[in-house]
């Protein structure tokens, strides 16, 4: 299993204890550690406006990882955010980091699959970042998300697509050997989201932006830490392989905004 790390919280404790001058509650202090997707906190900033949040709206983060996007949205907007993730150690780490950031009153996390997650009332918006690559039946998965949203709610996505068949250099951030990777083209992914009951507001290839972000972020080499690769098995190799595949066009990153159809069933 790719997401098999069990000592994430302990690793975070060690990394942060080595940086005693780091204020975990400061805006952006943990951005290099808790953003489990390409583009980091800057990518989340690109999604926040598309959610069109109003005062009192509650956001669902599907595949919330270490909780970076959920906490960032809560800090920026003041809205409550609920994250759900299948990996117990990630949820435990997300709760710990949220407490360190002083955001436990407006951000909370659940361990489980979206298919079995019960929500009442329905959420006003949702996001998912770098998750569907591990999902084989994407239409059903996005339908489960739609079931937990109010009619007219917005869904923001930041996802990896494969424009053409190509041999990828494993391991990648979402798969150690490719056996649990189910990449599709941008066209196929868009069709799956639409078939799940969403209307398209925007569907944009963000690969050029991602390339610029990679160039700037890694201009002086890989981050010294505390940084996300330090929390993952073979983390630095996975990051290097991913950025290489993005650079040669084997992979793309797409950003989307969708609205749950009012007549969805």
Could you give the domains of the chain?
8-259 (3.40.50.150)
Give the per-residue pLDDT at 226.
67
DSSP symbols for 186-236: HHHHHHHHHHTTEEEEEEEE-HHHHHHHHHHHTTTSS--SS-GGGGSTTHH
- Could you tell me which of 219, 227, 249, 136 has the C-alpha nearest to residue 182? 136
Question: Looking at the chain, how many residues does it have?
Answer: 265
| 12 band by pLDDT with thresholds 50, 70 and 90 | confident
Is residue 128 classed exposed, middle or buried when 0-12, 13-18 and 19+ CB atoms within 10 A define those classes?
A: buried
Q: pLDDT band at residue 248, thresholds of 50, 70 and 90?
A: very high
- In terms of Cα–Cα distance, which of 118, 108, 253, 128 is closest to 196? 128
Q: What is the reported pLDDT for 133?
A: 96
Summarize the confidence of residues 13-31 as an average pLDDT.
70
User: Among 124-128, 129-133, 205-209, 217-221, where is mean pLDDT lowest?
Assistant: 217-221
DSSP string, 25-64: TSTTTTHHHH--STTHHHHHHHHHHHH---TT-EEEEET-
Indicate if the alpha-carbon torsion angle 91, 154, 43, 183 is positive or negative: positive
Other Cβ atoms closer than 10 A to 134? 17
∠ CA 10-12-18, nearest 5°, is: 110
128 confidence band (pLDDT: 50, 70, 90): very high
Report the alpha-carbon distance of residue 141 to residue 248 in Å, rounded. 29
Nearest Cα neighbor of 36 from 89, 101, 104, 115 is 89
As given in the structure block, the two tokens for residue 110 are 């659940």
Q: Which two tokens stand for residue 29?
A: 């202090």
Are 79 and 59 spatial neighbours (Cβ–Cβ below 8 Å)?
yes
Contact present, 129 and 43 (Cβ < 8 Å): yes
**What span, in angstroms and rounded, lies between the C-alpha atoms of 98 and 91?**
10
Is 222:229 a contact under the CB 8 Å cutoff? yes
Confidence (pLDDT) at 230: 66
Beta strand 58-62 with 80-85 is parallel
pLDDT in tens, 146-196: 999 999 999 999 999 999 998 999 999 999 999 999 999 999 999 999 999
For residue 247, name the pLDDT band (cuts at 50, 70, 90).
Answer: very high
């Amino acid at each position: 299993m790719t997401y098999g790390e069990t000592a994430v919280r302990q690793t975070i404790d060690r990394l942060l204890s080595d940086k005693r001058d780091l204020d975990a509650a400061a805006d952006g202090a943990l951005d290099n550690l808790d953003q489990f997707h390409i583009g980091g906190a800057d990518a989340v900033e690109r999604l926040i406006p598309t959610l069109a949040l109003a005062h009192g709206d509650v956001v669902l983060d599907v595949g919330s990882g270490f909780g970076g996007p959920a906490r960032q949205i809560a800090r920026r907007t003041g809205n409550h955010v609920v994250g759900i993730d299948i990996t117990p150690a990630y949820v435990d780490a997300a709760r710990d980091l949220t407490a360190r950031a002083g955001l436990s009153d407006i951000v909370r996390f659940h361990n489980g699959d979206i298919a079995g997650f019960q929500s009442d009332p329905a959420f006003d918006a949702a996001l998912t970042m770098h998750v569907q690559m591990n999902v084989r039946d994407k239409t059903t998965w996005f339908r489960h998300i739609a079931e937990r949203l109010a009619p007219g709610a917005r869904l923001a996505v930041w996802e990896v697509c494969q424009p053409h068949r190509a041999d990828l250099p494993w391991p990648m951030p979402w798969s150690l050997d490719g056996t649990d990777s189910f990449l599709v083209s941008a066209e196929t992914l868009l069709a799956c989201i639409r078939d799940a009951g969403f209307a398209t507001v925007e569907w944009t290839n963000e690969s050029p932006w991602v390339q610029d972000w990679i160039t700037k972020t890694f201009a002086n080499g890989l981050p010294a830490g505390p940084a996300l690769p330090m929390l993952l098995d073979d983390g630095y190799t996975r990051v290097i392989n991913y950025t290489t595949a993005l650079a040669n066009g084997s992979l793309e990153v797409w950003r989307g905004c969708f609205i749950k159809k009012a007549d969805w069933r």
